């Protein structure tokens, strides 16, 4: 289940994660409620980490765009340059 949640977080599939957690809850609720607690805490922590990383990346990209605007390059050109840099 933890690997499934890692994949959902990496692929940004929140609906799949929610459905998987619901199914896991139904399977473990009667036998092992502690297992469900561990999985939920893991999911919350990993989701927070992923959100924090995405936020830091967005801040970095925003500052790059500001720097490029200061140099007289339009935002559209900056986006295209960034896309080309990621391809190579």
Report the pLDDT value the prediction gives residue 72, as an integer from 0 to 100.
59
Q: Is the dihedral of CA 72, 75, 78, 84 positive or negative?
A: negative
Q: What is the pLDDT of residues 24-66, one digit of tens each?
A: 999 988 888 899 999 999 999 999 999 999 899 888 887 777 6
Report the pLDDT value the prediction gives residue 30, as an integer from 0 to 100.
85
Q: Are 45 and 6 in contact (CB under 8 A)?
A: no
- The answer to whether residue 87 scores a pLDDT higher than 60 is no
Instruction: Determine the Cα–Cα distance for residues 75 and 20; give it in Å rounded to an integer.
Output: 40
Instruction: Determine the Cα–Cα distance for residues 5 and 3; give it in Å rounded to an integer.
Output: 5
- The answer to whether residue 77 scores a pLDDT higher than 90 is no
Q: Could you tell me the pTM of the whole model?
A: 0.65
Q: Is the dihedral of CA 50, 55, 56, 60 positive or negative?
A: positive
């Amino acid at each position: 289940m933890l690997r499934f949640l890692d994949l959902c977080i990496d692929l940004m599939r929140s609906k799949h994660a929610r459905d998987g957690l619901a199914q896991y809850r139904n399977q473990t609720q009667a036998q092992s409620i502690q297992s469900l607690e561990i999985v939920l805490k893991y999911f919350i922590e990993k989701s927070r980490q992923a959100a924090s990383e995405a936020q830091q990346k967005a801040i970095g990209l925003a500052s790059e765009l500001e720097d490029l605007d200061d140099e007289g390059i339009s935002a559209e050109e900056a986006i295209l340059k960034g896309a080309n840099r990621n391809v190579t």
